[in-house]
Amino acid sequence: MTQHNPRGAAAQGRIALLGALALVAVALAGSVGWLLGHQVPKPHRALPVLFKAPEFRGLINQNGIQLSSAHFRGKALVVTFLFPYCNTFCPVVATHLVGFENLLASTPLAGRVDVVAFDVDPGDTGPRQMRDFLREYGWNPANPRWQFLTGRPTQIRRVVSGGYHVDYQKVPDSPASAPASTQASPALAVAGSDPQPIVANPLATRADVDYDITHEDVMMIVDPQGRVRRIYDQADAVGKMRLLRDVRAVLGAP
């Protein structure tokens, strides 16, 4: 006669239960792994279309090469507005853009984005001063992904003020030392009326000009269809990661 052993039956039950739990755990782990491997990337926040960027022809870059807006068709643009003799925001913006370009170079987007600056002192500066300015803040003027553009004063006024809606004006010396009647208009004032930073600019020191160009501290992103999608009101405060995120958004890149 076979004797019934309650302890042995209980042990076998526990072993069976543990085996079933192990199988469930393996199945759950496999499901989680599949979900993680097939997870849809979180979409970028859509940037609205603000207005159409201006078209232009006959502007020249820092190397004296003539370019038109058609040259940039199909690319995302980071657009800014610089004064080669500037010793306030422009050097800071240029330095930040060097960091952005270096970051961009390590991504698959490198060939799909150009940085475009417009010279807001077209009457008194040109390609030579623009090249010197770029070199001072870490740019290679031969880099085709950086285009510093100038032209006749009427051309630049049409593109910058008429097209991008960015105001600028020439004032004696600097806004801080100019008479009240020549001070920058409220539209050109820095948000919060904080004093403008003074940044070393050897080019400006050598030139020792008796005027300044006051202009809005603005940066924009233009999409490959030529539409402005983002405006930064304080260009000197825009970090490279924020720029990269917004560029990815307008390119629809992960």
* pTM, two decimal places: 0.75
Structure tokens, 233 = 């009101």
Q: Are residues 105 and 167 in the same domain?
A: yes
Q: Are residues 7 and 28 in the same domain?
A: yes
Picking from 191, 221, 219, the residue whose alpha carbon sits closest to that of residue 90 is 219
In a domain, residue 45? The reply is no
In a domain, residue 131? The reply is yes
In a domain, residue 176? The reply is yes
The total of structural domains in the chain comes to 2
In a domain, residue 247? The reply is yes
Q: Are residues 155 and 200 in the same domain?
A: yes
Q: Are residues 187 and 233 in the same domain?
A: yes
Could you report the per-residue pLDDT of 191-245, keeping only the tens digit for each? 344 556 788 899 999 999 999 999 999 999 999 999 999 999 988 899 999 999 9
Q: Are residues 152 and 184 in the same domain?
A: yes
Could you report the per-residue pLDDT of 56-73, keeping only the tens digit for each? 999 999 999 999 999 999
In a domain, residue 234? The reply is yes
Per-residue DSSP letter, 211? E
In a domain, residue 154? The reply is yes
Domain harbouring 231, CATH code: 3.40.30.10
Per residue of the chain (254 residues), what is the pLDDT tens digit?
Answer: 434 444 454 545 554 544 444 444 444 444 434 444 444 444 456 899 999 999 999 999 999 999 999 999 999 999 999 999 999 999 999 999 999 999 999 999 989 999 999 999 999 999 999 999 999 999 999 999 999 999 999 999 999 999 999 999 999 975 444 433 333 333 333 334 455 678 889 999 999 999 999 999 999 999 999 999 999 998 889 999 999 999 999 999 87
In a domain, residue 46? The reply is no
Q: Residue 112 and residue 5: Cα distance in Å, rounded?
A: 76
DSSP 81-96: EE-TT--SHHHHHHHH
What is the domain extent for residue 195?
A: 51-251
In a domain, residue 43? The reply is no
Q: Are residues 55 and 141 in the same domain?
A: yes
H-run or E-run covering 49 = none
Q: Are residues 171 and 214 in the same domain?
A: yes
DSSP 156-181: HHIIIIIIS---EEEEES-TTTS-GG
